[in-house]
Each structure stands twice: as C-alpha cells, then as structure tokens.
Amino acid sequence: MTPDEVLELLRRSDAYRTGHFRLSSGLHSDRYFQCALALQHPEVAERLGAAIAEFFRGKAAKVVVGPALGAVVLAHEVARALGARAIFTERDGGAMTLRRGFRLEEGEPALVVEDVVTTGGSVVEVIDVVRAAGATVAGVGAILQRGVPASLEVALRPLARVEAPAYAESDCPLCASGVPLEKPGSRPAASRECRRA
C-alpha cells in the first residue's frame, strides 16, 4: 500500500479527524487519527496488517506484540499475515506489562506494532517489556508516524508519515483561541478543559 492509499483508507472510515484534541501523549493537536474506526472493518484491518507484515517478512518474527487497546487488532492481523502468534501488553498500576498468561520465550524474535506513533512512549514501554522477558525486538511497525519519536533503538517502519503539529498544553494555539478540546484517546484525561492563563 502506498502512503496515499493508507491515508485515503483512514479518511473513508472517518479515522482521520480535524479539530482540537488531547493526544494520548498529553500533547495537543488539530488532527487526530482514530485508527480503531478503520480497524473495525475486517477487510481494512487485514489489508493494513498485511502491508505492515511485508516490511518484516525476512525478520522471522515468531510473535507480534502491540499495546492495548489501540494495537490489539493490528497485532492480530500482522501476526496472521506472518504466520506468527499475537499478544498484547496492557497497563497494570500505570506500568506496561504482559498479563492474561501471555509469555515470551528467551531469545524469541518479537515484532512490536502500534497504530499511531507520535512521541513513541508506548512503543518504548512495549520494547522494554519484550526485552525484560528475554525476547528480542525484530522491529517496530505502525500504520502512521505523526511525529518524531524518541529513539527506539530499532527500525520504525510506518505505512505512512504525516506532518501534524503537536503542542504542549501551555503553548497550544488552539487553547489560546478557545477551541473546545476533545480527548478521544485511550488514556483518561484529568480534565476536558484547557488550562489558560
């Protein structure tokens, strides 16, 4: 799939939104990508998963790991395309961890996937879980890269990259203009109001 095809798929499924949003990272932006709206359609999820899998076909990943909730379906579809198994991490007391009896084997090659990478914070947490379990990271795949993530120490391969500015709340021009804030992501927000000076 080309980057333009990926973005068109997201637009057609209303997964590409504009407005004023608090991202999972805590940053604010005028664009939000809710990939769950695209992944709810099995045929779209299958196409996106297969496209990511193509980047990593030669890496011999035995398991695909994604953070809950956004990458659960994606991990499953990438794993299906690779003939691997799919598991997910989730937060327990604020820390990313493996639960539900999921395990990684010593030295097992694991592919990490995420729907949207902005700061890369969740991806780094998943990588840490994989390594702490003794497995190795074969790479990181994503539907979208919308920012410049922190160093991941492994190759990040997104299907598409988008320039979508993100602001600290204190520097957000949308807050300064009084544009109503939405928090559609996966982490709870303390408040739906901007704190303006």
pTM of the model: 0.85
The average pLDDT across 186-191 equals: 46
Contacts of 92 (CB under 8 A, 6+ apart): 99
Please report, for the chain, the start and end positions of each structural domain, with discontinuous segments joined by +.
3-176
- Adjacent-strand bridge partners of 90: 97
Q: For all residues of the chain together, what is the average pLDDT?
A: 90
Site of tokens 């953070």: 67
Nearest 5°: the CA angle 150, 18, 34 is 60
Greater model confidence, 100 or 165:
100
pLDDT for 129 beyond 50: yes
CATH number of this structure's domain 3-176: 3.40.50.2020
CA distance 151 to 149: 6
